Amino acid sequence: MAEFQTSPGTRDILHPDSARWRAFTARFSDAAEAAGFHQIIPPMFEDLGVFQRLGEVTDVVTKEMYDFMDKGGRHVALRPEHTASVCRAFVQHRPTLPWLVWYAGPNFRYEKAQHGRYRQFDQVGVEALGSNDPWLDAEVIALGWNFFAGLGLRDVKLVINSLGDDGDRERYVEILRSYLSANSGDLSKESLETLARNPLRVLDSKRDQDAAIVAGAPSIRESLSDAAKEHFATVLEGLDTLGVPFTVNDRLVRGLDYYRRTTFEYVSTALDSAQNAIGGGGRYDGLVEDLGGPATPGIGFALGLDRTLLACDAEGVFAAPTDSTDLFVVDTTGGANATAIAAALRNVGHSVARAYDSRSMKSQMKQADKSGAKVTLIVGESEAETNTVIVRSMVDGTQRTIARDSLIEELKKEFK
RNA sequence: GUGGUCGUAGCUCAGCUGGUUAGAGCGUCAGGUUGUGGCCCUGAAGGCCGGGGGUUCAAGUCCCCUCGAUCACCCCA
């Protein structure tokens, strides 16, 4: 056992998984750019206050913040998500509206790790600031939906709800609080604690004991203002227009309490665990203001990279890309020839692997085979003397000897 | 943070009710005569049995603690 190992909730991503990650973010950036979003790369840590604006009763803020004092006495925190950083950046740079950004990177949450829930976890996502247009909501939601579909995922369900505007939400919380209080005798003791802290979250309880009470709870729909209702109706209409199937669930409240109006979640039905939410998002009208900026509406989503890949595993889609080495150079004369040939070929754009440490030809050939190279170039004593190279196809085993000077020209026939 | 389960070679796992030098498959490396891969054969390297303490004549096998993973709650991506 090695003396040092990765800290709890963190891990190394090695090849070929790392290649899969690269492919994943490449797919996402293509999709986001195609929809008019541009990348933002915010710092991984910020002043703790930036994240505290996410909500005083939010667990992400109160219990899970990865914060520390730096050497300058600043209280900073590793970002638990990107949205707050994006809003802070918006206030700092004041871009023209609407501001459409996408991101990809790690977030940190100090919580107990388990499969699909890590302390350092990667997300990709988009944020759109400066527009109230419900059609934008629909487009954003569809962007995530289509991305999942593009990976090959089929067992994904979109759940959507509206939390109304600020006042609506407050009013509903009170209605819910009095309902739950009236039934507190039947609630689990965990839910009683949640009730005191944040009544909305009781709706998320997964305990059997709470099921009946949660099912009978008043719906937030009756508390929505006319404006919020109309907005929500148009969002759903937009989803229909875009051909995105959805399920309205008026119990979907989500954990960050900055959400207003539209809120949604992508759930993988192929994942047989509690960590089955592979993405989520919503409107956060008000967050920019909380960070000291002008009143600015915003909507976005974040997709969990780790969890989405777990869902891909479960569905058997989006496998790691296969290795694509063009050429492998075998040299049994010491290595000088392999070094020169590999360098020359890489200079003209080939991907070239080779062996080191002067291994036997048999050993080098085995490596060539494993590298996935389509063609192996062999230089032995006689080739070195005559300034030639053997070009061997690793597919059918045919080979020919050619002049070293004509190597680059010859290979153009194999790779065009 | 709370509770349950698990922790043996790089990987996947065997090791019966505690008892001689801890095993297999895969992987790695080296060979299988005259310079060449994929199949096959042979051999080798690699494990203080997660770590610490205890019970016992004797522990990978039992007990305690600890670390880690995992499952549920919680939370959320």
Could you tell me the distance in Å between the CA of residue A366 and the C1' of nucleotide B37? 5
Q: Which pLDDT tens digit goes with each residue over A118-170?
A: 999 999 999 999 999 999 999 999 999 999 999 999 999 999 999 998 888 88
> What ipTM is given for this predicted complex?
0.89
Q: Which pLDDT tens digit goes with each residue over A8-48?
A: 999 999 999 999 999 999 999 999 999 999 999 999 999 99
Locate A305 and state its tokens: 């990279």
- What stretch(es) of chain A map to CATH 3.40.50.800? 327-411
**Which residue, among A65, A29, A31, has the nearest Cα to A47 in the 3D structure?**
A65
Residue A398's nearest nucleotide, by CA–C1', is B36
Nucleotides of B under 7 A from a protein CB: 1-2, 28-32, 35-38, 48, 50-51, 67-77
Give CATH superfamily name and number for A17-165+225-315. Answer: Bira Bifunctional Protein; Domain 2 (3.30.930.10)
What's residue A104's pLDDT? 97
What's residue A1's pLDDT? 65
Burial of A285 (0-12, 13-18, 19+ CB in 10 A): buried
Would you tell me how many other CB atoms lie within 10 Å of the CB of residue A413?
8
What's residue A22's pLDDT? 94
Residue with minimal CA–C1' distance to B70 is: A114
Could you tell me the distance in Å between the CA of residue A174 and the C1' of nucleotide B43? 77
The ranges of chain A with pLDDT < 50 are none
Architecture of domain A327-411 in this structure: 3-Layer(aba) Sandwich (3.40)
- What stretch(es) of chain A map to CATH 3.30.930.10? 17-165+225-315
Crossing angle (nearest 10°) for helices A17-34 and A134-151: 150
Taking the C-alpha atoms of residue A388 and residue A284, their distance in angstroms, rounded to an integer, is 67
